[in-house]
Amino acid sequence: MNEKFHIYTRYEPVGVTAAISPWNFPMMLASWKIAPALAYGNTVVLKPAEQTPVSCYRMAELAAEAGMPEGVLNVVHGFGPGEVGEHLTIHPEVDLVTFTGESNTGRAIMEAASSTLKGISFELGGKGANIVFEDADIDDAVDWSIKAIFTNAGQVCLAGSRLYVHQNIYEDFMELFLKKSKQLVVGDPTDPKTEIGPLASEEHYNKVASYLDLQTEEKFNIMTGGKSEGWWIKPTILTDVNNEMRVCKEEIFGPIVGVQTFNTEEEAVKLANDTNYGLNAMLFTENVRRAHRVSGQLNAGTVWVNCFFIRDLRAPFGGFGDSGIGREGGKYSKEFFTEPKAVVMKL
């Protein structure tokens, strides 16, 4: 540049951030939004899911006790459409909306926020593919696959709900996968021995259970699991499924996994990418070249190789397609929660 001028960039806070968080990990997912927003100088209005208000309310109380200035972190409660959530998305004094939740809700928020052209960041639904190649460590792949679909009773947007196993190891893999799934303890969530608790609400239980009712129509096989008394769904493995079935296309958000086989790497990638979602994927292989090659071909915001849900908050987090818009984490949060300003100064 001309030596008579000096140019530098300031990163300034955007303003008021509306953070709308889900019910499945209410305080953790809220903190992923609150921390970077405040760190970059914004104020936050948090609306937690109406099903889980208490933990976020308590977090705000603790922030106040710790000396956070009044009005910096605010928690409001209520429902979405026509109420608090919608009000935040359309209010002209809200500058940013960050939302984690269901994809159709994201579409509604995007439409509402467009009236004021505010910034949006969405982490939406998922239908994660889990690919187990012929050269995988079967014991390790089974253990991680159990975690990927049955953690939190499957109420995880990152759940590995579509499982693709190489034909040559299918029988060995499924024998161990079935055995370990049946060993999971279903019961009272307050009991330390419990590994699968109830679903979050009666409404959500009815939604998840409705997918099992599709058996008559879609002709899949329930290898193990199914409905239980109360709001419990047992760890459920479906076979004889394909990507055209609703159980393989739609986000169930419960402890239900559909298993298919494949024969070639190309087929596995094609099956995994045959979805409108693209939040995450997993693959299991001992071949490092294959791990890098397939990771590059999968349409997913995060790809885990020989593991699941290992998170570094500096890494980008978000999804392709119906799984979201934008990324958060590390410098990606900086891009969302700040306005870069170029200052040009004559010397």
Return the active site residues. 123, 157
Tokens of 20: 């709308």
Tokens of 29: 């997912």
- Helix residue ranges, H only, 66-102: 84-90
Residue 89 Cα distances to 55, 99, 175, angstroms: 23, 10, 49
- The rounded Cα 342 to chain-centroid distance in angstroms is 35
Asked whether 310 and 151 are in contact (CB, 8 A), the reply is no
Tokens of 117: 């052209």
Q: Please state, as a whole number, how many other Cβ atoms lie within 10 Å of the Cβ of residue 76.
A: 16
Tokens of 160: 């590995």
Q: How far apart are CA 118 and CA 70, in angstroms?
A: 24
* String of DSSP letters for 224-249: EEEE-STT-EEEEEEES--TTSHHHH
DSSP 67: T
From the list 192, 202, 253, the residue with the least C-alpha distance to 232 is 202
The single residue listed with the structure tokens 């929660």 is 337
Angle at 129 between CA 152 and CA 320, to 5 degrees: 95
